Structure 1
Protein backbone atom coordinates (compact mmCIF):
# COMPACT_ATOMS: atom_id res chain seq x y z
CA UNK A 1 0.00 0.00 0.00
CA UNK A 2 2.93 2.34 0.62
CA UNK A 3 3.44 2.97 -3.11
CA UNK A 4 -0.13 4.27 -3.42
CA UNK A 5 0.35 7.06 -0.88
CA UNK A 6 0.87 9.99 -3.27
CA UNK A 7 -1.74 8.87 -5.82
CA UNK A 8 -4.30 8.46 -3.01
CA UNK A 9 -3.53 11.96 -1.75
CA UNK A 10 -4.37 13.29 -5.22
CA UNK A 11 -7.48 11.12 -5.44
CA UNK A 12 -8.96 12.12 -2.09
CA UNK A 13 -8.12 15.78 -2.76
CA UNK A 14 -10.24 15.86 -5.87
CA UNK A 15 -12.95 13.19 -5.58
CA UNK A 16 -15.53 15.05 -3.47
CA UNK A 17 -15.21 18.23 -5.53
CA UNK A 18 -15.40 16.21 -8.73
CA UNK A 19 -18.62 14.45 -7.73
CA UNK A 20 -20.15 17.70 -6.43
CA UNK A 21 -19.39 19.33 -9.79
CA UNK A 22 -22.38 17.49 -11.29
CA UNK A 23 -24.84 18.94 -8.79
CA UNK A 24 -27.52 20.76 -10.79
CA UNK A 25 -27.12 23.85 -8.60
CA UNK A 26 -23.41 24.04 -9.37
CA UNK A 27 -22.87 22.43 -12.81
CA UNK A 28 -19.14 22.96 -12.65
CA UNK A 29 -18.83 19.92 -14.92
CA UNK A 30 -19.75 22.18 -17.83
CA UNK A 31 -16.51 24.08 -17.16
CA UNK A 32 -14.18 21.08 -17.07
CA UNK A 33 -12.66 21.89 -20.46
CA UNK A 34 -12.03 25.52 -19.56
CA UNK A 35 -10.57 24.48 -16.23
CA UNK A 36 -8.17 22.08 -17.94
CA UNK A 37 -7.03 24.81 -20.30
CA UNK A 38 -6.52 27.42 -17.59
CA UNK A 39 -4.81 25.00 -15.21
CA UNK A 40 -2.47 23.81 -17.96
CA UNK A 41 -1.40 27.39 -18.67
CA UNK A 42 -0.45 27.74 -15.00
CA UNK A 43 0.94 24.22 -14.64
CA UNK A 44 3.51 24.58 -17.43
CA UNK A 45 5.84 27.10 -15.71
CA UNK A 46 5.33 25.51 -12.28
CA UNK A 47 6.17 22.05 -13.62
CA UNK A 48 9.27 23.47 -15.32
CA UNK A 49 10.21 25.01 -11.95
CA UNK A 50 9.59 21.61 -10.31
CA UNK A 51 11.75 19.76 -12.83
CA UNK A 52 14.58 22.28 -12.43
CA UNK A 53 14.53 22.19 -8.62
CA UNK A 54 14.36 18.40 -8.58
CA UNK A 55 17.34 18.24 -10.93
CA UNK A 56 19.31 20.64 -8.73
CA UNK A 57 18.47 18.73 -5.57
CA UNK A 58 16.51 21.60 -4.00
CA UNK A 59 13.89 18.96 -3.28
CA UNK A 60 13.50 15.30 -4.13
CA UNK A 61 10.93 12.52 -3.84
CA UNK A 62 10.85 9.28 -1.91
CA UNK A 63 9.71 6.90 -4.63
CA UNK A 64 8.60 4.30 -2.10
CA UNK A 65 5.43 6.41 -1.83
CA UNK A 66 4.81 6.57 -5.58
CA UNK A 67 3.87 4.20 -8.39
CA UNK A 68 7.42 4.56 -9.72
CA UNK A 69 6.44 6.13 -13.05
CA UNK A 70 8.59 9.16 -13.90
CA UNK A 71 8.16 11.85 -16.54
CA UNK A 72 11.06 14.29 -16.93
CA UNK A 73 12.39 13.31 -13.54
CA UNK A 74 9.09 13.80 -11.70
CA UNK A 75 6.76 11.07 -10.45
CA UNK A 76 3.49 10.91 -12.37
CA UNK A 77 1.71 11.84 -9.14
CA UNK A 78 3.54 15.16 -9.09
CA UNK A 79 2.22 16.00 -12.56
CA UNK A 80 -1.30 15.13 -11.43
CA UNK A 81 -0.79 17.33 -8.35
CA UNK A 82 -0.82 20.41 -10.60
CA UNK A 83 -4.34 19.54 -11.75
CA UNK A 84 -5.89 17.91 -8.69
CA UNK A 85 -5.00 20.66 -6.21
CA UNK A 86 -6.06 23.53 -8.53
CA UNK A 87 -9.29 21.68 -9.32
CA UNK A 88 -10.24 21.49 -5.64
CA UNK A 89 -9.21 25.11 -5.10
CA UNK A 90 -10.98 26.58 -8.12
CA UNK A 91 -14.09 24.52 -7.45
CA UNK A 92 -14.19 25.83 -3.87
CA UNK A 93 -13.66 29.41 -5.02
CA UNK A 94 -16.34 29.02 -7.70
CA UNK A 95 -18.90 27.70 -5.21
CA UNK A 96 -18.18 30.27 -2.53
CA UNK A 97 -18.39 33.08 -5.06
CA UNK A 98 -21.62 31.63 -6.46
CA UNK A 99 -23.47 31.10 -3.20
CA UNK A 100 -22.07 33.73 -0.85
CA UNK A 101 -21.51 37.46 -0.96
CA UNK A 102 -17.78 37.90 -0.58
CA UNK A 103 -17.39 41.38 -2.05
CA UNK A 104 -16.56 42.72 1.42
CA UNK A 105 -13.20 40.92 1.26
CA UNK A 106 -12.12 42.98 -1.74
CA UNK A 107 -12.12 46.08 0.47
CA UNK A 108 -8.82 44.73 1.77
CA UNK A 109 -7.16 44.51 -1.67
CA UNK A 110 -4.79 47.43 -1.13
CA UNK A 111 -3.86 46.34 2.38
CA UNK A 112 -3.16 42.77 1.29
CA UNK A 113 -1.07 43.87 -1.70
CA UNK A 114 0.89 46.48 0.28
CA UNK A 115 1.62 44.05 3.14
CA UNK A 116 2.56 41.22 0.79
CA UNK A 117 4.93 43.39 -1.24
CA UNK A 118 6.73 44.66 1.90
CA UNK A 119 7.07 41.21 3.48
CA UNK A 120 8.14 39.55 0.23
CA UNK A 121 10.70 42.23 -0.59
CA UNK A 122 12.23 41.94 2.89
CA UNK A 123 12.37 38.15 2.63
CA UNK A 124 13.98 38.34 -0.80
CA UNK A 125 16.61 40.84 0.32
CA UNK A 126 17.46 39.03 3.54
CA UNK A 127 17.48 35.48 2.20
CA UNK A 128 18.47 35.89 -1.45
CA UNK A 129 21.02 33.06 -1.17
CA UNK A 130 18.28 30.49 -0.50
CA UNK A 131 16.99 29.58 -3.93
CA UNK A 132 13.56 28.22 -2.96
CA UNK A 133 12.86 31.27 -0.83
CA UNK A 134 14.12 33.71 -3.47
CA UNK A 135 12.27 32.20 -6.44
CA UNK A 136 9.06 31.90 -4.41
CA UNK A 137 9.37 35.58 -3.47
CA UNK A 138 10.01 36.66 -7.06
CA UNK A 139 7.13 34.66 -8.56
CA UNK A 140 4.66 35.78 -5.89
CA UNK A 141 5.72 39.42 -6.18
CA UNK A 142 5.32 39.36 -9.95
CA UNK A 143 1.94 37.65 -9.64
CA UNK A 144 0.52 40.09 -7.09
CA UNK A 145 1.91 43.20 -8.78
CA UNK A 146 0.66 42.11 -12.19
CA UNK A 147 -2.83 41.29 -10.96
CA UNK A 148 -3.18 44.47 -8.91
CA UNK A 149 -1.31 47.15 -10.82
CA UNK A 150 -1.45 45.96 -14.44
CA UNK A 151 -4.44 43.63 -14.83
CA UNK A 152 -6.40 45.72 -12.28
CA UNK A 153 -8.14 42.70 -10.81
CA UNK A 154 -10.40 43.52 -7.87
CA UNK A 155 -10.78 40.06 -6.38
CA UNK A 156 -7.43 39.60 -4.60
CA UNK A 157 -9.06 40.13 -1.20
CA UNK A 158 -11.76 37.59 -2.01
CA UNK A 159 -9.21 35.09 -3.30
CA UNK A 160 -7.05 35.58 -0.21
CA UNK A 161 -10.05 34.93 2.05
CA UNK A 162 -10.87 31.72 0.16
CA UNK A 163 -7.21 30.67 0.39
CA UNK A 164 -7.47 31.00 4.18
CA UNK A 165 -10.58 28.81 4.11
CA UNK A 166 -8.59 26.25 2.13
CA UNK A 167 -5.81 26.14 4.74
CA UNK A 168 -7.09 23.02 6.56
CA UNK A 169 -6.90 21.15 3.25
CA UNK A 170 -3.48 22.64 2.57
CA UNK A 171 -2.18 21.45 5.94
CA UNK A 172 -3.68 18.00 5.42
CA UNK A 173 -2.24 17.44 1.94
CA UNK A 174 1.12 19.15 2.34
CA UNK A 175 1.43 17.82 5.85
CA UNK A 176 1.27 14.23 4.62
CA UNK A 177 3.62 14.98 1.72
CA UNK A 178 6.16 16.44 4.14
CA UNK A 179 5.89 13.59 6.61
CA UNK A 180 3.39 14.65 9.25
CA UNK A 181 1.66 11.29 9.70
CA UNK A 182 3.83 8.91 7.68
CA UNK A 183 7.25 7.49 8.65
CA UNK A 184 9.20 9.78 6.29
CA UNK A 185 8.38 12.61 3.86
CA UNK A 186 7.24 12.02 0.30
CA UNK A 187 8.92 15.33 -0.59
CA UNK A 188 12.26 16.18 0.99
CA UNK A 189 13.93 19.62 1.00
CA UNK A 190 17.57 20.64 0.99
CA UNK A 191 17.97 22.65 4.23
CA UNK A 192 20.40 25.03 2.51
CA UNK A 193 17.79 26.17 -0.02
CA UNK A 194 14.90 27.35 2.17
CA UNK A 195 14.40 29.30 5.39
CA UNK A 196 13.95 26.25 7.57
CA UNK A 197 10.78 27.74 9.08
CA UNK A 198 8.12 25.07 9.08
CA UNK A 199 4.43 25.05 9.90
CA UNK A 200 4.40 21.64 11.48
CA UNK A 201 6.33 19.75 8.82
CA UNK A 202 5.54 22.16 5.97
CA UNK A 203 8.10 24.76 4.81
CA UNK A 204 6.57 28.23 5.00
CA UNK A 205 7.61 28.76 1.37
CA UNK A 206 5.07 26.10 0.34
CA UNK A 207 2.20 28.30 1.55
CA UNK A 208 3.48 31.29 -0.44
CA UNK A 209 4.18 29.10 -3.48
CA UNK A 210 0.63 27.76 -3.23
CA UNK A 211 -0.80 31.26 -2.90
CA UNK A 212 0.78 32.47 -6.14
CA UNK A 213 -0.33 29.31 -7.93
CA UNK A 214 -3.85 29.76 -6.57
CA UNK A 215 -4.07 33.40 -7.73
CA UNK A 216 -2.82 32.54 -11.20
CA UNK A 217 -5.29 29.67 -11.54
CA UNK A 218 -8.16 31.99 -10.61
CA UNK A 219 -6.92 34.66 -13.01
CA UNK A 220 -6.74 32.37 -16.05
CA UNK A 221 -9.92 30.50 -15.14
CA UNK A 222 -11.85 33.76 -14.91
CA UNK A 223 -10.28 35.03 -18.10
CA UNK A 224 -11.13 31.90 -20.08
CA UNK A 225 -14.66 31.69 -18.69
CA UNK A 226 -15.08 35.45 -19.36
CA UNK A 227 -15.76 36.05 -15.68
CA UNK A 228 -13.67 39.10 -14.89
CA UNK A 229 -15.39 40.27 -11.71
Structure 2
Protein backbone atom coordinates (compact mmCIF):
# COMPACT_ATOMS: atom_id res chain seq x y z
CA UNK A 1 0.00 0.00 0.00
CA UNK A 2 2.98 2.30 -0.50
CA UNK A 3 1.21 4.27 -3.22
CA UNK A 4 -1.92 4.79 -1.11
CA UNK A 5 0.19 6.08 1.78
CA UNK A 6 1.92 8.53 -0.57
CA UNK A 7 -1.47 9.82 -1.72
CA UNK A 8 -2.67 10.27 1.86
CA UNK A 9 0.49 12.09 2.92
CA UNK A 10 0.35 14.32 -0.17
CA UNK A 11 -3.10 15.68 0.61
CA UNK A 12 -3.06 15.44 4.41
CA UNK A 13 -1.75 18.91 5.33
CA UNK A 14 -3.49 20.81 2.49
CA UNK A 15 -6.80 19.17 3.37
CA UNK A 16 -6.30 19.78 7.08
CA UNK A 17 -5.52 23.46 6.46
CA UNK A 18 -8.39 23.91 4.01
CA UNK A 19 -10.63 25.04 6.86
CA UNK A 20 -8.20 27.72 8.07
CA UNK A 21 -10.03 31.06 7.93
CA UNK A 22 -7.50 33.04 5.90
CA UNK A 23 -7.16 30.75 2.90
CA UNK A 24 -10.57 29.13 3.49
CA UNK A 25 -9.92 26.56 0.78
CA UNK A 26 -13.16 24.77 1.54
CA UNK A 27 -15.10 27.77 0.20
CA UNK A 28 -13.27 27.31 -3.12
CA UNK A 29 -14.18 23.64 -3.56
CA UNK A 30 -17.01 24.48 -5.98
CA UNK A 31 -14.38 25.74 -8.43
CA UNK A 32 -11.53 23.47 -7.36
CA UNK A 33 -13.12 20.04 -7.74
CA UNK A 34 -14.65 20.66 -11.19
CA UNK A 35 -11.19 21.76 -12.37
CA UNK A 36 -9.54 18.67 -10.89
CA UNK A 37 -12.14 16.36 -12.43
CA UNK A 38 -11.93 17.90 -15.92
CA UNK A 39 -8.14 17.72 -16.08
CA UNK A 40 -8.01 14.42 -14.21
CA UNK A 41 -10.31 12.73 -16.72
CA UNK A 42 -8.01 13.68 -19.61
CA UNK A 43 -4.89 12.53 -17.78
CA UNK A 44 -6.48 9.26 -16.64
CA UNK A 45 -7.41 8.38 -20.24
CA UNK A 46 -3.84 9.19 -21.27
CA UNK A 47 -2.55 7.12 -18.35
CA UNK A 48 -4.60 4.07 -19.32
CA UNK A 49 -3.49 4.24 -22.96
CA UNK A 50 0.20 4.51 -22.05
CA UNK A 51 -0.10 1.70 -19.52
CA UNK A 52 -1.63 -0.57 -22.16
CA UNK A 53 1.15 0.41 -24.58
CA UNK A 54 3.84 -0.44 -22.03
CA UNK A 55 5.14 3.11 -21.76
CA UNK A 56 4.83 2.84 -17.98
CA UNK A 57 3.38 0.51 -15.40
CA UNK A 58 3.02 -0.22 -11.70
CA UNK A 59 4.65 -2.64 -9.27
CA UNK A 60 1.98 -4.81 -7.64
CA UNK A 61 3.71 -5.01 -4.25
CA UNK A 62 3.06 -1.29 -3.69
CA UNK A 63 -0.66 -1.42 -4.56
CA UNK A 64 -3.82 -2.46 -2.72
CA UNK A 65 -5.05 -4.42 -5.75
CA UNK A 66 -8.11 -2.39 -6.75
CA UNK A 67 -8.12 -1.50 -10.46
CA UNK A 68 -10.56 0.61 -12.49
CA UNK A 69 -10.34 0.17 -16.26
CA UNK A 70 -7.07 -1.61 -15.55
CA UNK A 71 -5.60 1.40 -13.75
CA UNK A 72 -4.70 1.12 -10.06
CA UNK A 73 -7.03 3.07 -7.79
CA UNK A 74 -4.00 4.82 -6.29
CA UNK A 75 -3.03 6.19 -9.70
CA UNK A 76 -6.48 7.70 -10.12
CA UNK A 77 -6.22 9.21 -6.65
CA UNK A 78 -2.90 10.75 -7.72
CA UNK A 79 -4.84 13.06 -10.06
CA UNK A 80 -6.88 14.23 -7.08
CA UNK A 81 -4.30 14.50 -4.31
CA UNK A 82 -1.45 16.12 -6.25
CA UNK A 83 -3.55 18.81 -8.00
CA UNK A 84 -5.36 19.56 -4.73
CA UNK A 85 -2.06 20.02 -2.91
CA UNK A 86 -0.66 22.19 -5.70
CA UNK A 87 -3.77 24.35 -5.96
CA UNK A 88 -3.51 24.81 -2.20
CA UNK A 89 0.08 26.00 -2.65
CA UNK A 90 -1.11 28.31 -5.43
CA UNK A 91 -3.77 29.89 -3.20
CA UNK A 92 -1.46 30.19 -0.19
CA UNK A 93 1.14 32.02 -2.29
CA UNK A 94 -1.54 34.26 -3.80
CA UNK A 95 -2.71 35.19 -0.31
CA UNK A 96 0.65 35.84 1.31
CA UNK A 97 2.63 37.12 -1.69
CA UNK A 98 1.15 40.44 -2.70
CA UNK A 99 3.60 41.12 -5.49
CA UNK A 100 3.48 39.17 -8.76
CA UNK A 101 7.23 38.63 -9.15
CA UNK A 102 7.08 36.79 -12.48
CA UNK A 103 4.36 38.77 -14.23
CA UNK A 104 6.76 40.33 -16.74
CA UNK A 105 8.74 37.15 -17.36
CA UNK A 106 6.18 34.34 -17.44
CA UNK A 107 4.82 34.97 -20.93
CA UNK A 108 8.16 35.20 -22.79
CA UNK A 109 9.54 32.31 -20.73
CA UNK A 110 6.61 30.06 -21.64
CA UNK A 111 6.87 31.13 -25.27
CA UNK A 112 10.55 30.17 -25.32
CA UNK A 113 9.86 26.90 -23.52
CA UNK A 114 7.06 25.99 -25.92
CA UNK A 115 9.44 26.42 -28.86
CA UNK A 116 12.08 24.25 -27.21
CA UNK A 117 9.54 21.54 -26.36
CA UNK A 118 8.15 21.61 -29.89
CA UNK A 119 11.61 21.03 -31.36
CA UNK A 120 12.47 18.25 -28.89
CA UNK A 121 9.06 16.62 -29.29
CA UNK A 122 9.49 16.43 -33.05
CA UNK A 123 13.13 15.39 -32.78
CA UNK A 124 12.21 12.44 -30.54
CA UNK A 125 8.86 11.69 -32.16
CA UNK A 126 9.53 7.94 -31.96
CA UNK A 127 9.58 8.04 -28.15
CA UNK A 128 6.00 8.05 -26.93
CA UNK A 129 6.42 9.63 -23.50
CA UNK A 130 8.83 12.30 -24.70
CA UNK A 131 7.00 13.29 -27.87
CA UNK A 132 3.43 13.27 -26.55
CA UNK A 133 4.32 15.11 -23.33
CA UNK A 134 6.53 17.71 -24.99
CA UNK A 135 4.21 18.38 -27.94
CA UNK A 136 1.06 18.61 -25.81
CA UNK A 137 2.79 20.93 -23.35
CA UNK A 138 4.18 23.07 -26.18
CA UNK A 139 0.70 23.50 -27.64
CA UNK A 140 -0.83 24.22 -24.24
CA UNK A 141 1.82 26.81 -23.37
CA UNK A 142 1.25 28.55 -26.69
CA UNK A 143 -2.44 28.68 -25.83
CA UNK A 144 -1.63 30.25 -22.46
CA UNK A 145 0.74 32.75 -24.07
CA UNK A 146 -2.05 33.71 -26.48
CA UNK A 147 -4.66 34.04 -23.73
CA UNK A 148 -2.17 35.78 -21.41
CA UNK A 149 -4.20 35.29 -18.20
CA UNK A 150 -3.49 37.61 -15.27
CA UNK A 151 -2.45 34.64 -13.12
CA UNK A 152 0.34 33.38 -15.40
CA UNK A 153 3.19 34.84 -13.34
CA UNK A 154 1.67 33.64 -10.09
CA UNK A 155 1.26 30.16 -11.51
CA UNK A 156 4.95 30.13 -12.43
CA UNK A 157 5.86 30.97 -8.83
CA UNK A 158 3.58 28.26 -7.46
CA UNK A 159 4.96 25.73 -9.94
CA UNK A 160 8.54 26.45 -8.89
CA UNK A 161 7.57 26.09 -5.22
CA UNK A 162 5.58 22.92 -5.95
CA UNK A 163 8.68 21.37 -7.53
CA UNK A 164 10.05 20.83 -4.00
CA UNK A 165 7.31 18.40 -2.86
CA UNK A 166 7.13 17.13 -6.45
CA UNK A 167 10.69 15.83 -6.29
CA UNK A 168 9.97 14.17 -2.95
CA UNK A 169 6.74 12.46 -4.03
CA UNK A 170 7.89 11.56 -7.53
CA UNK A 171 11.24 10.46 -6.19
CA UNK A 172 9.59 7.87 -3.96
CA UNK A 173 7.17 6.82 -6.72
CA UNK A 174 10.05 6.19 -9.10
CA UNK A 175 12.07 4.19 -6.61
CA UNK A 176 14.02 6.44 -4.25
CA UNK A 177 14.46 4.50 -1.01
CA UNK A 178 12.58 1.46 -2.35
CA UNK A 179 13.75 -1.92 -3.62
CA UNK A 180 11.36 -1.60 -6.57
CA UNK A 181 9.70 1.57 -7.91
CA UNK A 182 5.99 2.15 -7.43
CA UNK A 183 5.82 3.41 -11.02
CA UNK A 184 8.21 2.03 -13.63
CA UNK A 185 9.03 3.58 -17.01
CA UNK A 186 10.04 1.96 -20.28
CA UNK A 187 13.20 3.91 -21.12
CA UNK A 188 12.77 3.06 -24.80
CA UNK A 189 9.88 5.54 -24.77
CA UNK A 190 11.67 8.42 -23.02
CA UNK A 191 15.00 10.22 -23.22
CA UNK A 192 16.57 8.04 -20.54
CA UNK A 193 17.64 11.15 -18.64
CA UNK A 194 16.80 11.01 -14.94
CA UNK A 195 17.09 13.46 -12.08
CA UNK A 196 17.83 10.92 -9.39
CA UNK A 197 15.18 8.34 -10.22
CA UNK A 198 12.77 10.77 -11.93
CA UNK A 199 12.55 10.86 -15.76
CA UNK A 200 13.10 14.41 -16.98
CA UNK A 201 9.79 14.18 -18.87
CA UNK A 202 7.97 14.06 -15.52
CA UNK A 203 8.86 17.72 -14.90
CA UNK A 204 7.16 18.77 -18.13
CA UNK A 205 4.27 16.37 -17.46
CA UNK A 206 3.84 18.07 -14.09
CA UNK A 207 3.90 21.51 -15.73
CA UNK A 208 1.09 20.45 -18.06
CA UNK A 209 -0.93 18.85 -15.26
CA UNK A 210 -0.65 21.77 -12.85
CA UNK A 211 -1.11 24.58 -15.37
CA UNK A 212 -4.19 22.79 -16.68
CA UNK A 213 -5.62 22.59 -13.18
CA UNK A 214 -4.92 26.26 -12.47
CA UNK A 215 -6.47 27.28 -15.79
CA UNK A 216 -9.73 25.47 -15.12
CA UNK A 217 -9.69 26.45 -11.45
CA UNK A 218 -9.56 30.12 -12.44
CA UNK A 219 -12.14 29.45 -15.17
CA UNK A 220 -14.63 27.96 -12.71
CA UNK A 221 -13.77 30.56 -10.04
CA UNK A 222 -14.91 33.29 -12.42
CA UNK A 223 -18.23 31.53 -12.88
CA UNK A 224 -18.75 30.40 -9.30
CA UNK A 225 -17.40 33.30 -7.17
CA UNK A 226 -15.57 32.10 -4.07
CA UNK A 227 -14.61 33.71 -0.78
CA UNK A 228 -11.14 35.13 -0.06
CA UNK A 229 -10.18 34.89 -3.74
CA UNK A 230 -7.31 37.24 -4.57
CA UNK A 231 -8.08 39.59 -7.46
CA UNK A 232 -5.05 38.78 -9.59
CA UNK A 233 -5.80 41.42 -12.18
CA UNK A 234 -4.99 44.15 -9.66
CA UNK A 235 -1.74 42.69 -8.30
Q: TM-score, normalised by structure 2?
A: 0.92
Q: Check conservation: 2:151, 2:232, Cα contact below 8 A.
A: no
Q: Which residue of 1 aligns with 2:74?
A: 77
Larger mean Cα displacement after TM superposition, 27-36 or 78-87? 27-36
Q: Check conservation: 2:171, 2:196, Cα contact below 8 A.
A: yes
**Is 1:167 aligned with 2:163?**
yes
**Is 1:30 aligned with 2:38?**
no
Q: Distance in 1 between matches of 2:106 and 2:141?
A: 10
Q: Which residue of 1 aligns with 2:201?
A: 205
Q: Distance in 1 between matches of 2:190 and 2:103?
A: 31
Residue correspondence of structure 1 range 117-156 to structure 2 within 5 A: 117-149=114-146, 151-156=147-152
Q: Check conservation: 2:107, 2:148, Cα contact below 8 A.
A: no
Deviation at 1:102, TM superposition (A): 3.7
Q: Distance in 1 between matches of 2:126 and 2:74?
A: 30
Deviation at 1:115, TM superposition (A): 1.9
- Runs of 4+ that moved beyond 2 A: 154-158
Q: TM-score, normalised by structure 1?
A: 0.94
Q: Check conservation: 2:120, 2:134, Cα contact below 8 A.
A: yes
Q: Which residue of 2 aligns with 1:217?
A: 213
Q: Distance in 2 between matches of 1:211 and 1:192?
A: 22
Q: Distance in 2 between matches of 1:194 and 1:169?
A: 23
Cα root mean square deviation, aligned: 1.3
Q: Which has the higher contact order (CA 8 A, sep 6+)?
A: 2
Gaps of 5+ in 2: 223-230
Given candidates 161, 177, 182, the residue that maps to 2:178 is 182
**Is 1:86 aligned with 2:79?**
no
Gaps of 5+ in 1: none
Deviation at 1:228, TM superposition (A): 6.9
